[in-house]
Structure 1
């Protein structure tokens, strides 16, 4: 059984090559999803966005290509390739593509009691 899907196993991969920017779209590719963690690749075309929302888990982004703008609880962050940001659970956050960019999103959810 594979826990990571939509990717070849036992092969060296460039994550940025696993998702493609498409004009006027936000493209996502889910790699893992369960009650404890979500791992998703995203590709944003320039000017695309995900409006403000929150999550029950901590969300960590890692920029693969391009530049992304993230607003967390009213504070703006601009991230470039190789940079990461953790957006704490229950804090509103939004994403905007200052230019086309790709990112890896990992969300870790609280354990059920």
Structure 2
């Protein structure tokens, strides 16, 4: 059977937050899965780096792994610390900014494709 996840070892206990490293002045990422149904990605933001406001057609769950991030949803700002999570609903404008260095896991679940009967 084809392995559906990538960029991660199989049957090995791993320090999850260490699977993506900070890079000075950048947002680094490691994609673990990407298809029409789901996207799983680890991110490491250097201080003050950001992903600017955009919207997704899937629900996006952010789980903070390290540091403190600022999540903006529909113009409302939320502080997210290690171990906390927030759901960014589909179709709503959102952004992510690192207050200090910040690592997060992003899981996006997309709606099923419309059937054409």
Name the TM-score, length of structure 1 as normaliser: 0.99
Superposed CA offset, 1:21-54 (max 9, x none): 1100000100000000000000000010111000
- Runs of 4+ aligned structure 1 residues displaced above 6 Å come to none
Secondary structure of 2:100's aligned partner: coil
- Segments of 5+ residues of structure 1 without an aligned counterpart are none
Give the superposition deviation at 1:9: 0.5
The Cα RMSD (Å) is 0.5
Q: Could you state the TM-score of these two structures normalised by the residue count of structure 2? A: 0.95
* 2:63 partner SS: strand
Partner of 1:20, secondary structure, is coil
**Match of 2:109?**
108
| 2:18 partner SS | helix
* Structure 2 unpaired stretches of 5+: none
Determine which structure has more spread, i.e. the larger CA radius of gyration: 2
Deviation at residue 76 of structure 1 after TM alignment:
0.5
